[in-house]
Every structure is written in structure tokens, then in C-alpha cells.
Amino acid sequence: MSENKTLKKAKSVAGRLPFLLVAVLIGLLSWLAPASAQQKFSGTVFFDYTFYLSNDGPITTPPTNNPNFKNNFMNFRRVYFRYDNKINDNISFRLTLDGDTVKAVDSSGKADDKFRPYLKHMYLQVNNLVPDADIKIGMADTITFKLAEDRWGYRSVAKTLLDGYKDITGKDIDATSADIGISLSGKLLRQVRYGVMLSSGEGYSKPEKDKHKKLSSFIQLIPVAGFSVVGYIDYEKQDVGARAYTYKGDVYVEFIPNLTLGAEYFVYRNDKNLLDGQRYDRSGLSVFGRYNLIPEKLNLFARFDRYEPSDLTDLDEISLIIAGLDWAPLHSSFKLQPNIWVYDYKDLLKKNDLIFNLTFLMSF
């Protein structure tokens, strides 16, 4: 075998090592777990066929130098594979692999855009060590927008406001769906629930880069069944003595049969965000709803978002309307979710973008 072939084979084996180690870890956990443990493997796939219905907006305008502009395409947007091990009523473990396309080049400079798995969750959960509460230790869901995501219910179609803010605006607000740290969530009374988390602040896809930590907390008030109000705040010290805060308020209405309504508003304030010597804030508003037409078969959903990348800049606001159907033709494990996205820009020189997605949700 030539030296080049040997090197390529070695690199191939090295590239598979992380996943082989994960497989070995899962196998060991399965073997070592007591017979009473409840183990579960599950998976979820989001697949889109996207078609641009407009051709003159910032997203959909074809470049003049690209006659093969990609105005329709297919994409595996997310692939989750999860292992859960409930050892007993008080101790459980979760490991989740996610998948995404990583923009990279190989050693020869050739594009290498393979769809690659990576670690999303790996945490231990302990229940009732604190009365009526659970503790998560490791790489776990953050408490930033988990409540809103559960009410929205269509992560397969679109991320929630904070989760997808950078995707829409291109501006960072330092929010992530998972992070390394420790969290405590529970209830004080039937009408009062809370959450606190101390995390690295870097998210699940980056190593911790400094000594500073992110502290997050929320309180949820439920004055009557099916109606709740949530207040959230997080704080993280930045470099050069700067500080960053996120303030968020949510309202959820769930007492109307078959209907769920929600709204969330946030402000992100970072001392490093300066324009002509003045600090600017980023903010956003989201209002959404879903209605069950036929149980286990057909839902309607709609959402309106408003994004403000800088309160010191005129004409930079973006509005987004999302609407669609959620249809399970055969079984709840397979869903078709046709949806329309309409981007509207305050800058009148920018035309609207109109985009159609046929989303396939598959789960087991």
C-alpha cells in the first residue's frame, strides 16, 4: 500500500474515532445499567425542500455572476439521535448526537461540506435532591427559551425568536440552546415555577474561552390553569470589563381547547455594542399560535416576528411571518409540514422575500 493510501486510511480511522467512542460509551452504559433501568433510543429528522417564490429580495435575488443560483434545494436541516437511560426515579442520563453541515476544506483546499454529527447533550439528571426540582449536570438544555420552544412546538419548521435571531439578522445576541454547566429547575408552589443555570456561556459547539460564566434565571407565574407569565434574565461578564444582559418576558395562553397562543419579547444589552460611542440594544418580539383541527392528524400554525438589530440605527428592522400546516397522513412519526416564510424589511429599498418550504419530520 502506498504512503498516501496509508495516510488517507489513518485519517479516515481517526475521523471515525469520536463516533466509535460514543458507540462504545453507549454500549458500556447499556451493559452496566441495572436490569430495572429504562433505556430508550430515539431519533428525529428535519428535511426540507425549499423553493424561492420571489426573486428580488435580499435572500432570493440571483447574483448577476451566477446563472446556477440555488433558488430551490433539498437539505437535511437537523438529524438527532438520542440515548436515554432512566436508572431509577431519581437518576437519569441523556446523550444526544446532532447533525449539521460544516463548511470546511480538506488538506488540498477542496471544499469538504459533509453532513457531520456532533455532541449536543451529555448530562446527568438528578430529581428530588431539592424538593420538587431537578438538577442537570453536564452539557444540557439552557433555560433561555425552552419554555417558548415547547409552546411553539415547531422546531422542525423554525427556531424560536432568540434561537434563530442570528440566522435572520446576521447579528449575535449570545443565546444558545445547550451549554456546559449546572441547572436547577422546579416549583415552589403549584402557581410558581423557577429555573437557575450557571454555564460556560460559549454554547455546546465551542470550548470555554475565558474565566467568566453565564448566570441565567427565570420565574414562571401561573395565576390560573392554562395561563402563565414568565420573566427571564441572564448576565455574563465580557472582556475589557464589559457586561452583557438579556431580559425577556413571555406570556402563554393554553386554556382554550385545541389552541395554544404565546408571545415573547426580549432585549439584549452588551457594553461592547457601540455605535459612535453609544451603546445600542438588540431586541425582538414574537407572537405565535397553533390550533389542532383533527386530533393526531392535522394542525394549523402561524407566527409573527419582529427583529431590531440596533435601536440606534434606522431602517434595519426585519419582520417575518411564518404560516403552515402540520399533517400526519399515516402516523404521528411521519409528518408533512408545508410552510410559507414572508420577510418584510423596513428599508423600502429592500423588496420582500417569499420562501416556500415543504418540511418532512420523521421520528422514532
Mean pLDDT, to the nearest integer, of 331-337? 96
Give how far Cα 151 sits from Cα of 60, 103, 143, 287, Å: 30, 32, 14, 11
Domain interval for residue 13: 1-32
pLDDT above 50 for 30? yes
Please answer whether residues 296 and 326 qualify as being in contact, where contact means their C-beta atoms are separated by less than 8 angstroms: no
Residues 90 and 21 in one domain: no
pLDDT above 60 for 1? no
Residues 27 and 106 in one domain: no
Q: For 217, phi and psi rounded to 5 degrees?
A: -155, 155
Residues 10 and 102 in one domain: no
The rounded mean pLDDT for the chain is 89
Measure the CA–CA gap between 267 and 360, rounded to whole angstroms.
Answer: 33
What value does the CA radius of gyration of the chain take, rounded to a whole number of Å? Answer: 22
pTM of structure: 0.86
Give how far Cα 16 sits from Cα of 80, 107, 114, Å: 18, 17, 13
* Residue written as grid cell 426515579: 89
Count other Cβ atoms within 10 Å, centred on residue 161: 31
Measure the CA–CA gap between 59 and 52, rounded to whole angstroms.
Answer: 9
Residues 95 and 65 in one domain: yes
Residues 23 and 120 in one domain: no
Task: Report the pLDDT value the prediction gives residue 17, as an integer from 0 to 100.
Answer: 45
Task: Report the pLDDT value the prediction gives residue 305, as an integer from 0 to 100.
Answer: 98
User: Quick one: pLDDT band at residue 115, thresholds 50, 70, 90?
Assistant: confident
Task: Report the pLDDT value the prediction gives residue 104, as an integer from 0 to 100.
Answer: 62
pLDDT above 70 for 7? no
Residues 245 and 356 in one domain: yes
Residues 17 and 44 in one domain: no
User: Quick one: pLDDT band at residue 15, thresholds 50, 70, 90?
Assistant: very low
